[in-house]
Amino acid sequence: MASSFYTGLQDTADKLIRGKGQAVTLTSGTTVYSGFAVEGAVKFGKAGLGADSFKDASMVQSKTRQLTLSAKGFGVIPKPGNTVKIGSSTVSWQVVGVVPISPGGTVVVYYLLVEK
């Protein structure tokens, strides 16, 4: 029963991300995977990711993004070192962090921290 509940959450997350997000491609080695993600800016602050240690936090912000990647049918577990292209952009972003959101053992989404 619990498994079907979390699979339903995965389906809902995928539907929302496909509807409001954009296509992404993730490259792992020589293999390219396609999926959907929602892009957001990373916010830095005193209680956040250590912006105090950066001379110019706005420069760090412009080079860093968080992606919420739909896990449904993605075909690969993202990992640091992979590269991502967002939408029709030719800019490659390097994956520097991955957090799977997996209640009940079912991965619903991946939070990716990416940098130029």
* 31-60 average pLDDT score: 59
Tokens coding 79: 């990992």
pLDDT of residue 102: 92
Tell me the pairing of strands 22-28 and 31-41: antiparallel
pLDDT digits 0-9 by tens, 46-90: 444 444 444 444 445 567 888 899 998 778 899 999 999 988 888
**Domains in the chain: ranges and CATH:** 2-115 (2.40.10)
Write the CB contacts of 23 (distance below 8 Å, at least 6 apart in sequence): 34, 35, 36, 87
- Return the higher-pLDDT residue of 42 and 29: 29
End-to-end CA distance of the chain: 42
Q: Determine the pLDDT at residue 30.
A: 92
The pLDDT value given to residue 104: 86
| Four-residue CA torsion sign, 14, 20, 22, 28 | negative
Express each pLDDT in 87-108 by its tens digit.
888 889 999 999 999 998 899 9
| pLDDT for position 41 | 55
Q: Give residue 54's Cα distance to chain centre.
A: 23
Name the pTM for this structure.
0.78
Of 72, 94, 98, the closest CA to residue 81 belongs to 94
